[in-house]
Amino acid sequence: MAAVGEMLLNAFFQVLFDRLASRDLLSFVRQLGGGVDSELKKWQRKLKMIQAVLNDAEEKQLTDEAVKMWLDDLQDLAYDAEDILDEFATQALESKLMAQNQDSSGQLLSFIPASLNPNAVRFNYTMRSKINDITSRLEQLCKERIELGLQRIPEGASSTAAAAHQRPPSSSVPPEREVFGREEDKAKILDMVLADSPSDHANFAVIPIVGMGGIGKTTLAREVYNDKAVGDSKFDVKAWVCVSDVFDVLGISKALLESITRRPCLLNSLNEVQVELKVAVDGKRFLLVLDDVWNEDYSSWVDLKAPFLAAAPNSKMIVTTRNSNVASIMGPIEHYNLKRLLDDDCWSIFKTHALEGRDHNALEISESFRKKVVGKCGGLPLAAKTLGGLLRTTRHDAWDDILESKIWDLPQQSGVLPVLRLSYTIIFLLI
C-alpha cells in the first residue's frame, strides 16, 4: 500500500505524464520549434526519476526536515509545470481556431510556418524562460534526490508511513455525545435487530450495513449497539470486533471470545478457541458487531460462524462493509445501504469539530463559506469531522485558502477522499 502523500503526488504526476504525452500538445510544440518538444521530453524523464523515490521520501520527511522541504519544492514545481501546460493548451486551441477562421474566410496563410506566426513568436519567447526555469528546478531536485539519499522502494515493500495511515481499529464506545442525521437509519436497523426471525431461519441473522468509506457505517452500528433497547434484558451476549482488511478466522474468533468473556484468551489453536466460543454462546441470544469487513472468501465465513450455530434463536450479527459482495456472502438478509448525509447535518458535524467553544458570530462565517464546506464534504460525516478538525487547528483567515487547495481537484485514490488525504498529509494544505 502506497503512503498517502506518495499516492497524492503520484496521482498528480500521472496527470502531468498524460498531458505531456498528448498528441495535440506535441504537435503544437513541434510547430513552435526552438527545441520546446525536447525540453518537455526532458521533463518526463526527470519526473520519472523523481517519482521512483516518492515512497522513500514520504517516509523520511517525517523525521528529516530537509526531505520535507524537498517535497514542498517538488509540490510547487508540479503545479507550476501544470500551469505552463495549461498555457500551451490554451495557445494551441487559439491557433486551431485561428486556422479554422482563416480557412473559412478564404485567406491563404498556410504558407507561413507556425513558428514564424507573430503570435507564436511572442508566445514562444515568453514561455522560453518559464520552461528553462522548470527544467533547471527539475535538475536541481534530481541532484538533491541523490544528496538526500532517496532510493526507490519496490512496489509491495513494507512502509512504516503507509502502515501509520491505515484505518485505526474501531470501538463500541461512542467518541461523541451527539450523532447528526442518522435517526431514521438507526430506527430501521433497530427494528431489524429486535425483530423475530422467521421460524425457518438460522439461529442468528446477519444485518449488513453497506456504504462507501467515511459515510458513517461504524457510527450507525455503534449507535444501535449502545441503544437501551438492545440491553442485557434483550440479549444475553454482546460483543464488538473490528475486522478490517485481514480476515483471520483464528484472530477474529479470539477477539470475539475475549469481548464476550472480558478475559484474555491464551489459547492458540482454532479448535480450542472455537470450542470455548461455542460454550460462551450456547443457548444464548447474542448481538455481535463485525466492523469493517472486507472478506469475500465464503469458506472463511463458514468457518468463522460455526460456533454461533449453537446460539438461541433471534440472535443477530451486524456487519459493516463497503462491499455488497461481502454482505451477500455473509447473510441472506437484504443489505441496508447507507446514504449520504444532508448538507445541514454535515454542517452541524463540521461546526462541532471546527468551532467548539468559539463565538460563531464573531467569526463572521458567510453562507458562501458554509456552501463550500458542505460541498467539499460530499455528504460524508467523516469528511465533515476531518475537515472540521483540520480547520480547528488552523488560523481562521487561512480557511478559504485550504478550501481552494488544488488537492481537492485530484482524483480519489483507493477510496480515500481529498479531505482525508489532507488529514494525513497536512504539509500539502497551504499551496
Confidence (pLDDT) at 423: 46
Confidence (pLDDT) at 278: 96
The CATH number for 231's domain is: 3.40.50.300
Based on the fold, state whether residues 253 and 314 are members of the same structural domain: yes
Of residues 244 and 13, the one with the higher pLDDT is 244
Based on the fold, state whether residues 413 and 317 are members of the same structural domain: no
- Separation of alpha carbons 260 and 257, rounded Å: 5
Residue 286 inside a domain? The answer is yes
Confidence (pLDDT) at 251: 93
* Whether residue 268 has pLDDT greater than 80: yes
Based on the fold, state whether residues 130 and 256 are members of the same structural domain: no
Residue 221 inside a domain? The answer is yes
Of residues 248 and 407, the one with the higher pLDDT is 248
Give 367's pLDDT tier (boundaries 50, 70, 90): confident
Average pLDDT, the chain: 78
Give 426's pLDDT tier (boundaries 50, 70, 90): very low
Give 396's pLDDT tier (boundaries 50, 70, 90): low
Of residues 165 and 227, the one with the higher pLDDT is 227
Of residues 12 and 118, the one with the higher pLDDT is 12
Based on the fold, state whether residues 244 and 272 are members of the same structural domain: yes
Based on the fold, state whether residues 35 and 105 are members of the same structural domain: yes
Based on the fold, state whether residues 367 and 411 are members of the same structural domain: yes
Of residues 168 and 11, the one with the higher pLDDT is 168
Residue 172 inside a domain? The answer is no
* Whether residue 143 has pLDDT greater than 50: yes
Whole-structure pTM value: 0.60
Instruction: Kindly report, residue by residue over 54-98, the tens digit of the pLDDT.
Output: 877 877 776 778 888 888 888 888 888 888 888 877 777 777 776
Confidence (pLDDT) at 281: 95
Containing structural domain, residue 389:
343-428
Confidence (pLDDT) at 260: 94
Based on the fold, state whether residues 386 and 312 are members of the same structural domain: no
Residue 12 inside a domain? The answer is yes
Based on the fold, state whether residues 12 and 158 are members of the same structural domain: yes
Query: Rounded mean pLDDT of 351-364?
Result: 70
**172 and 226 Cβ atoms separated by less than 8 Å:** yes
Q: Give the Cβ contact number of residue 271 at 10 Å.
A: 9
Q: In angstroms, how far is CA 387 from the centroid of its own chain?
A: 13
Q: Write the CA distances from 348 to 26, 154, 370, 373, integer angstroms.
A: 49, 44, 10, 11
* Whether residue 360 has pLDDT greater than 70: no
Residue that terminates a domain, selected from 295, 322, 337 = 337
Beta strand 315-321 with 204-210 is parallel
Residue 173 inside a domain? The answer is no
Q: What percent of the chain is predicted at pLDDT more than 70?
A: 73
Instruction: Kindly report, residue by residue over 20-38, the tens digit of the pLDDT.
Output: 777 777 777 777 666 677 7
Give 4's pLDDT tier (boundaries 50, 70, 90): very low
- Separation of alpha carbons 203 and 38, rounded Å: 71
Residue that terminates a domain, selected from 130, 164, 198 = 164
Based on the fold, state whether residues 159 and 15 are members of the same structural domain: yes
Instruction: Kindly report, residue by residue over 296-327, the tens digit of the pLDDT.
Output: 899 999 999 999 999 999 999 999 999 888 99
Based on the fold, state whether residues 187 and 266 are members of the same structural domain: yes
Confidence (pLDDT) at 65: 83
Instruction: Kindly report, residue by residue over 154-211, the tens digit of the pLDDT.
Output: 544 444 434 434 567 899 999 888 999 999 999 999 999 999 877 656 789 999 999 9
Residue 258 inside a domain? The answer is yes
* Whether residue 253 has pLDDT greater than 60: yes
* Whether residue 282 has pLDDT greater than 80: yes
Based on the fold, state whether residues 210 and 356 are members of the same structural domain: no
Confidence (pLDDT) at 111: 42
Give the number of domains in the chain: 3
Based on the fold, state whether residues 349 and 421 are members of the same structural domain: yes
Residue 191 inside a domain? The answer is yes
Confidence (pLDDT) at 273: 96
Residue 203 inside a domain? The answer is yes
Confidence (pLDDT) at 343: 93
* Whether residue 240 has pLDDT greater than 50: yes
